[in-house]
Structure 1
Amino acid sequence: MNVRRRLYKLASQLYRKSDPAVLNMVSSRLKYLSLWVLVFQTTFLVLTMRYSRTLRGDGPRYLASSAVVVAELMKIITCVLLIFKEHSYNVRALNSILRQEITHKPKETLKLAIPSGIYTLQNNLLYVALSNLDAATYQVTYQLKILTTALFSVSMLGRRLGVYQWLSLLILMAGVALVQWPSESLGAPEKELSEGSQFVGVVAVLVACCSSGFAGVYFEKILKETKQSVWVRNIQLGMFGLVFGLMGMFAYDGERVRVSGMFKGYNTITWTVVALQALGGLVIAAVIKYADNILKGFATSLSIILSTLISYFWLEDFEPTSVFFLGAVLVIVATFLYGYEDKPSPNPRG
């Protein structure tokens, strides 16, 4: 009798799991969960990175080049663990997948060297940008990656954009221009230095937007040409990213690394920044899988608003103006408008 009851209970559970209503409910929960995680990751990566680069404490500041290397290493380890989980924690299966897809396909693996090098440059540029820009200005300006991704998609993939998308790109450019509109200044030396630093930050963001757009479209093209999982591709990207990151670290900060080590200046905030940066590509992959463009636009807009509020009230390094507010609203509107039609796939690595 007990055996019969157990079988009935198991059958009921299996039926419920295969019920379309239950599957839709689970899918909906995963969709919104992935979006909220994206909001959290995007917002707090920017804020903690900005805080870590402006925090005045005892001892030297951590090396941005070192943080990029550690983030790449964490991404590789995370993706290996995810593949390990997908194959029921079978060590032989994991070893077979890695050897078959990476070691035995050197040409396919080498294709990832180009986007990986660009991503490494981009990640270093983001540290430069947030060392010179407040979080709110950075968040809004960095949305220009939508424009660069769209243009590279048209030129490299032959993709066509709709009327609403072209309109949204024009609104986006207008919004970013307003955000960067110079405010009234008294011409003090400190202000001039601040303006010089802001120029460096803006240039770093613009170059990062261009590199993000090209690398994202290039990566999308490679994904469509092969059937490898996104985790395998991220391992391949991470391997080259680790090599390029180490080369950059020893080229620009080699003396400091030899004297003090690559972890000099690391603290809890630094490790939080590194973990959030490593998490970024995986979160985007989840959003691509479970969410749509409209909801991703909502997440991006919410992240901009949260970054602005926290930058003003907590970091106290940002004074919003009416021109900035108008520009931010235009950028948010453009983000929503761009999602009303099919758009280029989001950058898998942020």
Structure 2
Amino acid sequence: LFLRRKLSNLQWIAIVLLAVGTTTSQVKGCGEASCDSMFSAPIQGYMLGILSACMSALAGVYTEFLMKKNNDSLFGVIFNIARLLFDDFRGGFENGPWWQRLFNGYNLTTWLVVLNLGSTGLLVSWLMKYADNIVKVYSTSMAMLLTMVLSVYLFTFKPTLQ
């Protein structure tokens, strides 16, 4: 409704599969405890969980709307630089201007983290611009699956049936 788009049947199936997958991943197994305790949370907890999921979905759709509405990222750049300059003036430039401290203390690990997060941000913004929020959520799910598979081989992680 928000983006004024009609979802295809495949997209509706994808949303239902995401909801079922998310729900089953959060349900505790019966194990040694009785299965009665699996659904023992009060109704307020379930309602807050549903509200949280709806707010998260709304935020994702609104972000997609903003990405597709305009291409102006200069707005954010200007306000971030203004904040850096404000902090410099407030601190009296005691540690030097922001451009001299920007990369102070960076080592190889820091650069790798910056490269990883920067490329992830660019990839997500590309997905939001040219695909949609459903594709973004599925790509995140695939990344989690790949992380689990790598954890099995690299760290002898033992996944449960869930």
Give the TM-score normalised by structure 2. Answer: 0.51
Distance 1:237 1:243, change over 3 A: same
- Please name the residue that 2:12 is paired with: 166
Q: Paired residue for 1:214, among 59, 62, 65? A: 62
Distance 1:277 1:243, change over 3 A: farther
Segments of structure 2 that go 5 or more residues without pairing to the other structure are 34-48, 87-94, 96-100
Q: 1:182 to 1:239 in 2, by over 3 A?
A: farther
Does residue 311 of structure 1 match 2:147? no
* Aligned counterparts of 1:208 and 1:182: Cα–Cα separation in 2: 23
CA RMSD of aligned residues (A): 4.6
Aligned to 1:178: 24
Aligned-pair distance for 1:185? Answer: 7.3
Which one of 152, 159, 162 corresponds to residue 320 of structure 1? Answer: 159
Amino acid at match of 2:113: V
Partner of 1:278: 118
Q: Which of the two has greater helix per residue?
A: 1
- Secondary structure of the residue aligned to 2:27 is coil
73, 80, 98: which is aligned to 1:234?
73
Q: What is the CA distance between 1:287 and its match in structure 2?
A: 6.0
Q: Which residues of 2 match residues 190-201 of structure 1 at below 5 A?
A: none
Identity value in percent: 21
Structure 2 distance, partners of 1:171, 1:160, is 18
Q: Deviations over 1:57-76 (max 9, x none)?
A: xxxxxxxxxxxxxxxxxxxx
Alignment of 1:130-141 (within 5 A): none
Distance 1:174 1:244, change over 3 A: farther
Q: How much does 1:173 deviate?
A: 0.3
The AA in structure 1 aligned to 2:114 is: V
Residues in 1 aligned to 2:17 and 2:106: alpha-carbon distance in whole angstroms: 41
The CA distance in 1 between the partners of 2:85 and 2:160, in whole Å, is: 41
Deviation at 1:306, TM superposition (A): 2.0
Gaps of 5+ in 1: 1-153, 188-202, 224-229, 248-257, 324-350
2:152·2:158 contact (CA, 8 Å) conserved in 1? yes
1:328 aligns with: none
**Which structure would you say has the larger RCO, counting Cα contacts within 8 Å and 6 or more residues apart?**
1
The size of the alignment, in residue pairs, is 127
**Counterpart-to-counterpart distance in 2, 1:272 and 1:172:** 31
Mapped to 2, the partners of 1:157 and 1:172 lie a distance apart of 20
Deviation at 1:241, TM superposition (A): 5.3
Partner SS state of residue 21, structure 2: helix
Distance 1:185 1:176, change over 3 A: same
Aligned letter for 2:7? L
